[in-house]
């Protein structure tokens, strides 16, 4: 048996396994990924491009896209800085409870996003642990753009950290040690030696975080208030339009989000060499 299999793999000339396996791969992806995506595009543009364009140009749709971009941007800024800091601390120092911290940072990946949403409501709401202290001073973050940023930070918490930490772990210490030997301060070493070698990890961590935050739905719908033109992000807008039976309007924004993530992941893929990520 095994000899037969080995023999087949070494057949010269036309290798039937190659087109066959590629074909099977594409065929498997067809109903699972390609067709669902394609149906968004087909349906969204089936009534003509002008319909698509006017659906996209609705003031509430534009607002929703802008709000998604802005809230995702700030969540990304925070999580990249935090991820960098956390990765630095957790790969440089060994201390009691270190593993527990690493596990906790990773938790939001597995927690349902709706749970993230009501956890934030419980914490920041007027009866919540933090909310109780802040509400009397007129500070209410729930049902504002701030709440959306908090939700985005929570659900994308581990992403940048997860990309940056392995690079830290495998980074050769000799360069940093050399830098220290020639009299550089810790901060100079970090800024001129450590950070540049993390460039790739930071960019890809940021793109991943941003892409995930833009698509966030489950936690946002609970904490944002979901008001069109005020606190409704792009995914919430899509859901609202679907509920209203305005599938074309929902689809137009879905297409924009799909193209957007395609762009982000293309950058991630093709800029790999420049980004220096393996």
Partner 1 sequence: MKESLEKAIFPAFAAKWKQQHGQVVVFQSSFAGSETVTNQILRGAPADIAILSIERDVQRLQKDGFVTADWHSLPARGIVNKTPFVIIVRQGNPKGIRDFSDLAKPGIRLIHPDPISSGGAQWSILAIYGSELKKSENESGEGERDNQRALQTLRAIWKNVISTPGSAREARTTFELGNGDALITYELEGLLMKEAKAPIEIVTPQSTIFSEHPAVVIDKNVTAAKRPVIDAFMQYLWSDEAQQAFVQFHFYSATNDAFNTAFGHIEMPFAIDYFGGWDKAYPNVIEGVFRDQVQRK
Chain residues that interact with partner 1, rule: CB under 8 A: 60, 121-122, 125-128, 131, 135, 142-143, 221, 225-228, 240, 243-244
> From the CB of 242, what's the least distance to partner 1, in Å?
10
> From the CB of 121, what's the least distance to partner 1, in Å?
6
Which two three-digit tokens encode residue 167? 């690079």
Comparing CB distances to partner 1, the nearer of 128 and 166 is 128
> From the CB of 229, what's the least distance to partner 1, in Å?
8
Chain centroid offset of residue 30 CA: 24
Three-state SS sequence of 134-200: HHHHCCCCCCCHHHHHHHHHHHCHHHHHHHHHHHHHHCCHHHHHHHHHCCCCHHHHHHHHHHHHCHH
Comparing CB distances to partner 1, the nearer of 73 and 242 is 242
Distance CA 73, CA 156 (A): 12
Comparing CB distances to partner 1, the nearer of 55 and 105 is 55
Comparing CB distances to partner 1, the nearer of 151 and 275 is 151
Distance CA 34, CA 41 (A): 11
DSSP characters over 263-277: HHHHHHHHTHHHHT-
> From the CB of 237, what's the least distance to partner 1, in Å?
12
Distance CA 233, CA 216 (A): 9
Comparing CB distances to partner 1, the nearer of 123 and 171 is 123
> From the CB of 62, what's the least distance to partner 1, in Å?
13
């Amino acid at each position: 048996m095994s000899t037969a299999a080995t023999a087949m793999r070494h057949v010269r000339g036309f290798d039937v396994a190659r087109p066959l396996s590629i074909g099977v791969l594409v065929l498997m992806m067809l109903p699972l990924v390609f067709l669902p995506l394609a149906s968004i595009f087909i349906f969204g543009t089936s009534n003509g491009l002008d319909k698509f364009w006017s659906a996209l140009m609705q003031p509430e749709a534009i607002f929703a896209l802008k709000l998604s971009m802005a809230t995702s941007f700030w969540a990304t800024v925070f999580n990249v800085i935090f991820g960098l800091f956390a990765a630095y601390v957790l790969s440089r120092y060994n201390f009691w409870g270190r593993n527990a911290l690493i596990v906790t940072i990773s938790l939001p990946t597995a927690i349902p996003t709706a749970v993230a949403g009501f956890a934030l409501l419980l914490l920041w709401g007027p009866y919540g642990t933090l909310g109780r202290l802040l509400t009397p001073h007129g500070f209410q973050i729930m049902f504002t753009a701030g709440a959306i940023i908090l939700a985005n930070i929570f659900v994308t918490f581990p992403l940048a950290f997860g990309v940056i930490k392995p690079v830290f772990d495998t980074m050769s210490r000799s360069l940093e040690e050399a830098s220290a030997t020639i009299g550089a301060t810790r901060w100079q070493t970090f800024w001129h030696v450590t950070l540049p070698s993390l460039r790739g990890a930071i960019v890809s961590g940021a793109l991943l975080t941003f892409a995930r935050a833009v698509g966030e739905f489950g936690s946002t719908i609970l904490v944002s208030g979901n008001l069109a033109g005020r606190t409704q992000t792009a995914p919430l807008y899509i859901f609202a339009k679907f509920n209203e039976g305005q599938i074309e309007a929902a689809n137009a924004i879905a297409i924009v989000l799909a193209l957007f993530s395609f762009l982000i992941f293309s950058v991630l893929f093709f800029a790999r060499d420049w980004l220096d990520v393996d």
